[in-house]
Chain A
Amino acid sequence: MKVKGTYKRSDIWLAFWLIIPTLIAIGITAFYPLGQTLYDSFFRWSLRPGFEREFLGFQNYVNLFQDPRFLRSLWNTVYFTFFSVLIEFLLGLGTALILNADFKLRGLVRAAVLIPWAIPTAVSSQMWKWMYNDQYGVISLMLYNLGILEEGTPILGTPGMAMSAIIAVDVWKTTPFVALLLLAGLQIIPNELYEAARIDGASIWKQFTSITLPVLRPTIGVTLIFRTLDALRVFDIVYIMTQGAVGTETLAVYNRSLLMDNIFSPRGLFGYGSALSVVIFLIIGLFTIIYMRSLNIKLD
């Protein structure tokens, strides 16, 4: 512990002036709206002019957990998160291992891999929506020709299939990011380790399980938790591909619909939507705490 006397007054003042703009910015546009949302969640009310706030206590929260649409969107979010993170991890690891090998044009290939990450999600969602088009989409046509799908099946209109299709887009878009994080972890492994293992006659698989995986473990942890936090918030892809239809509605999509589609509704659903906002915040918050703990981030 430092004693207060060791700090210089002038440093503290300068730091104060340097940090205050950031604190004001995040205070006004992040913490204040969060507080407002928490407050609203205890009322029945909407932005309809003249709508009287009615204090409900925790009633909105009680109702939420009896709302089948909420429970379904919670399940959909968990399902989406589990499969997209799992597939992204496996594909990302594969990509990172390939990028870590020595081959011609490696720099160019690495840049090419980064492209899906840079494309706005809204844009990539539309690109894929066109490929999924039931009449002329290239993916649909290929699946018909391979006999996997019956002709004319709308991929994004069929329960089950729609969610898989959405997961595929997320996998395409996000695997590059996963691969890059894992690649950074791979590159700190000294080559001598592998050479020694080769001399001992260890197979490639053996080298992978006894050198690569253990060294990579912390990076894998960071990556998985990052992706989980992000997947739990998924909005863009689902909203654009299906608007939450055919069993694809996630928490964020339901939440926005509660808040914005009913914003001036006489039913006063803005408070109810705020309760869902708080629940989503708590879910993510829980994961964040686990994340900070397991990463052991140093913040000095």
Chain B
Amino acid sequence: MRWGMRAKRNTQRTILYILVILMVIFYIFPFYWAIKSSFTADQYLFTKNITLWPQGFTFENYIKVFTERPFGLNILNSIIVAGATTIFSIIVGSFAAYAIARLKIPGKGPLMLLILAVSMFPQVSILGGLFQLLRNLGLINTYPGLIIPYIALNLPLTTWILQNFFRELPKEIEESAYIDGCSKFETLWRIVLPLSAPGLVTTGLLAFIQAWNEFLFALTFMQTPAKYTVPVAIAMFTGKTFYEVPWGQLMAASVIVTMPLVILVLVFQNRIVQGLTAGSVKG
């Protein structure tokens, strides 16, 4: 290789690595800053000297988040709501997805369109009607009042992604099970679902993240701090007086709820990317 070309390649490499570093800083810094702030004692947090490392390292903010407010309860609410939403939308969604992917039926196109249309609904457009419905059913400020709408919000995503997964399964396995005397429903339950475990995990993950992060419905339908889900609790974070925001505690709360998601993303990175691009539906 000629020296000139080699030098050029080296320059290109260097530029690439500089860009990678800048990019990582851009995407990571706000999260890092929240972590740093959460471990900083108040007297160092409210100062104009910026340091990259936490001064007066302390766990106090983490302790206060749980002792001075119902944050533990908020996390539990989110786990219950997002968990139930995930389970139900996977079960219901996988049934519909199987019918669409594998059964010969008329009207598939319009059906899929109907289901997908829901993912295009601006949430605020159904807010008023949904509020009245839940109020009439006495479901405002209850778990089902949030879980039921969340299932509907999640079904387009779960149905769409799962039917993609089902289509990729080899048809022969189902056919032989069918010949062996399994009914089609048994085939779905005993053969197809276990075989598509990876797809179910991916879809479940996306559904969970979507339900965990939802804000507008949770803000509107959950009306007491003890019933708030995590995003609402974080958005409504105030101090003893309205104008005094305890930023250290708020950042600690932010880190607590983000950590599990970050770990999930790091572990299931490939699957999430696969699911997102296969479904091309925003989580």
Contact = CB atoms under 8 A, between A and B. Distances in A.
17 contacts: A11-B104, A21-B96, A22-B159, A23-B114, A25-B151, A28-B148, A32-B133, A34-B125, A36-B133, A98-B19, A109-B23, A110-B273, A118-B261, A123-B258, A277-B122, A277-B128, A300-B108
Contacts of A285: 120
Contact of B265 (A35, A118, A226, A259): A118
A190 interface: no
A95 B128 contact: no
A8 interface: yes
Interface string A91-105: 000110010010100
Interface string B102-126: 0111101111111111101111111
A91 to B, nearest CB: 8
A255 interface: yes
Contacts of A101: 16
A84 interface: no
A244 interface: no
Given A32-B133, A35-B129, A256-B220, 16 more contacts: A34-B121, A37-B125, A114-B269, A118-B264, A120-B257, A123-B258, A124-B30, A172-B27, A172-B30, A180-B273, A181-B280, A236-B215, A252-B123, A284-B120, A285-B120, A299-B110
B34 A127 contact: yes
B23 A103 contact: no
A112 B128 contact: no
Interface stretch (B55-63, B65-73, B194-202, B247-255): B247-255
Interface in B57-93: 92-93
B165 interface: no
A158 interface: no
Nearest to A122: B231
Contacts of B235: 122, 125-126, 236, 239-240
B282 A230 contact: yes
A278 interface: yes
Contacts of A109: 20, 23-24
Interface string A34-53: 11110010000001000000
Interface of A: 2, 4, 6-8, 10-12, 14-15, 18-19, 21-23, 25-26, 28-30, 32-37, 40, 47, 94-95, 98, 101, 103, 107, 109-128, 130-131, 133, 135-136, 138, 141-142, 172, 175-177, 180-181, 184, 222, 226, 229-230, 232-233, 235-236, 239-240, 251-252, 255-256, 259-260, 263, 270, 273-274, 277-278, 280-281, 284-285, 288, 299-300
A112 B257 contact: no
Contacts of B125: 34, 37, 255, 277-278, 280-281, 284
B149 interface: yes
Contacts of A98: 16, 19-20, 23
A22 B116 CA distance: 11
B17 interface: yes
A35 to B, nearest CB: 7
B26 interface: yes
Contacts of B153: 29-30
B234 interface: yes
B96 A33 contact: no
Contact of B254 (A117, A127, A172, A177): A127
Q: Which of A115, A226, A288 has the most CB of B within 10 A?
A: A115
A53 B128 CA distance: 16
A300 B130 CA distance: 31
B96 A232 contact: no
Contacts of A255: 124-125, 127
A2 B106 contact: yes
Q: Which of A94, A121, A126, A232 has the most CB of B within 10 A?
A: A126
Given A180-B276, A299-B112, A115 B31 contact: yes
